[in-house]
Amino acid sequence: MSVLLCADINLADLKNLLSRFGLIIHLVENNQLISGSWFGESEAGLIGNMLYVRLDTPVHSALHESCHYICMDSHRRNQLHTNAGGDYDEENGVNYLSILLADFIPGFGRDRMMRDMDAWGYTFRLGSSRAWFEKDADDTYAWLIKNGLMDTDKNPRWIVRQ
């Protein structure tokens, strides 16, 4: 199964979504290196509040890197260049929030996000992103609430972690 690419969605929808968090998308020309990409190839990159993508960047990668920006503390965010870093709890928060935010991109949604995460090779204790999200993420849900990123109805609060 191929994953959904930025070319497959209306980039304006992604730009509008991420602008709510102060992120700006920079579209990189085809075949050019993506600045700030930790994984290289077509993976999204982060430098400061700039998210770098190409049309062949997977949408899940754009959301994942964006959620690193959202979930990291302000000290790390102010120095952000390529390596988002973070601990285990934050990485789980990134994955959970990515799944939630996928619903705000027409033509993507959480079901496709989870299928793409699994196809790309994300690994979870229960074997799939869906099993983790639905049955094993209570600690992550609590972490997102504690850090003010989500409300108790599992809605994003449209702010970045302080």
Per-residue pLDDT tens over the stretch 81-98: 999 999 999 999 999 999
Residues 6+ apart with CB under 8 A from 161: 70, 71, 72, 73, 74, 147, 148, 149
Work out the pLDDT band at 39, boundaries 50, 70, 90. confident
Q: Which whole number is the average pLDDT over 68-89?
A: 95
Is residue 1 pLDDT above 80, yes or no?
no
| Region 27-40 average pLDDT | 94
pLDDT for residue 76? 95
Q: What is the mean pLDDT of the chain?
A: 96
Location of structure tokens 């982060």? 46
Give 139-156 as a DSSP string: HHHHHHHHTTSB-TTS-B
User: CB-based burial of residue 76 (10 Å sphere; 0-12 exposed, 13-18 middle, 19+ buried)?
Assistant: middle
What is the arithmetic mean of pLDDT over 10-17? 98
Model confidence at 125, pLDDT cuts 50, 70, 90, reads confident
In this prediction, residue 113 carries a pLDDT of 97
Share of the chain above pLDDT 90, in %: 93
> Would you kindly state where each structural domain of the chain is located, as residue ranges?
6-78, 88-146
Mean pLDDT of 52-70: 98
Mean pLDDT calculated for residue range 130-150: 97
